[in-house]
Structure 1
């Protein structure tokens, strides 16, 4: 996918996620997401922070919590507390068509953010949300090859397996074989064990143990 096609998927994901969020009850907004310790509301708030410039990043550093992960979580929760539900939805929807990533990352990291976090919201609520296989392949490849921002901790756990998609021409790595839909492979690469049940192959038991350590 070229950059324009990636941004098109990002825009579509933002609009469709806003539509999904429009229909949630207060209880669903408080529901745990796939991100440990994050509610659906926290994840939605995080997704409004996809166009941070230098001043925003300096402000973020002023709230440093000892690690990037803890700082990002803190900023998301502050945002979630400061914004109404309607404001969060409007901000996600308004990002569609704005093709400027946060300073220091590329459009592909922005793609991964919206693809994975939209599933973090939809899956635990039992709601359908499309994850295009071709875009998921671009994101998964980036998760394995990125050096900056630092790769997800799950990268170490899924390295050493041969992953191959059953719905698109994509594969990565060497080792025990693991097969499945590209959506499930991306979520697994991002450290979401919820998708392990959709995978097959001789490497699945070892991959399951690695992700659940």
Structure 2
């Protein structure tokens, strides 16, 4: 599923104009090309990635920004080539985390540009069941019940948050752009947590 998700993202990226590559994504301060640069972490051998973590004092934000800065010299074609032909140095060890990260970042690119898609139900359920732990989803999901309206999936106990699985997946990891697509008694609580 991770490889299918990556292939879909590469196909989208190949269709974008130069202006769209420079457009803002849902990731604060990152353009589309910066999100792609971030996703190249999987092309870095694990020891090198670990050393970046040590140098950045194990701060995921610092590591991400450092790795994105390293890719700013790459052309669009070089970014695409590295994304498409990476060696899965990290995600082969944690494919569920890799899938969740790839999914969310693909939506970070698609939503602002207005490129919708239909996600296969089994892939969407996999992302909902295993949100990216580095995004600390518990701070958004604790004490709430999430119910997808387009696939058979629900989780949690408490005031309900319901809506399309894609919007739930984004809201569970802190993307405020998805909140308007959700309904239920738990949405005001979720909005406060996104603060």
- Using structure 2 for the length normalisation, give the TM-score: 0.88
Partner Cα distance (1:41, 1:12) in 2: 20
- Counterpart of 1:93 in structure 2 is 84
| 2:122 counterpart of 1:134 | yes
Secondary structure of the residue aligned to 1:41 is: helix
Asked if the contact 1:119–1:129 (Cα under 8 Å) also holds between the matched residues in 2, the reply is no
Q: Indicate the RMSD between aligned Cα atoms, in angstroms.
A: 2.3
Runs of 5+ consecutive residues of structure 2 not aligned to the other structure: none
Shift of 1:51: 4.3
Partner Cα distance (1:175, 1:89) in 2: 43
Asked if the contact 2:91–2:98 (Cα under 8 Å) also holds between the matched residues in 1, the reply is no
Measured at CA, do residues 52 and 39 of structure 1 come closer, stay the same or move farther in structure 2, by a change above 3 Å? Answer: same
Shift of 1:186: 0.5
Partner Cα distance (1:176, 1:101) in 2: 40
CA offset digits 1:103-151 (Å, max 9, x no partner): 79511011111111111111111112443332222222223xx8xxx54
Asked if the contact 1:101–1:110 (Cα under 8 Å) also holds between the matched residues in 2, the reply is no
Runs of 5+ consecutive residues of structure 1 not aligned to the other structure: 1-8
Secondary structure of the residue aligned to 2:42 is: coil
| 2:178 counterpart of 1:191 | no
- Using structure 1 for the length normalisation, give the TM-score: 0.81
Asked if the contact 1:184–1:195 (Cα under 8 Å) also holds between the matched residues in 2, the reply is yes
Partner Cα distance (1:204, 1:58) in 2: 38
1:56-205 map, 5 Å: 56-61=48-53, 63-64=55-56, 67-79=59-71, 81-95=72-86, 100-102=88-90, 105-143=93-131, 151-205=134-188
- Counterpart of 1:5 in structure 2 is none
Asked if the contact 1:161–1:178 (Cα under 8 Å) also holds between the matched residues in 2, the reply is yes
Spell out structure 1 runs of 4+ moving beyond 6 A: none
Range moving further from structure 2, 49-58 or 122-131? 49-58
Asked if the contact 1:108–1:139 (Cα under 8 Å) also holds between the matched residues in 2, the reply is yes
> How many residues are treated as equivalent by the alignment?
195
Asked if the contact 1:115–1:131 (Cα under 8 Å) also holds between the matched residues in 2, the reply is no
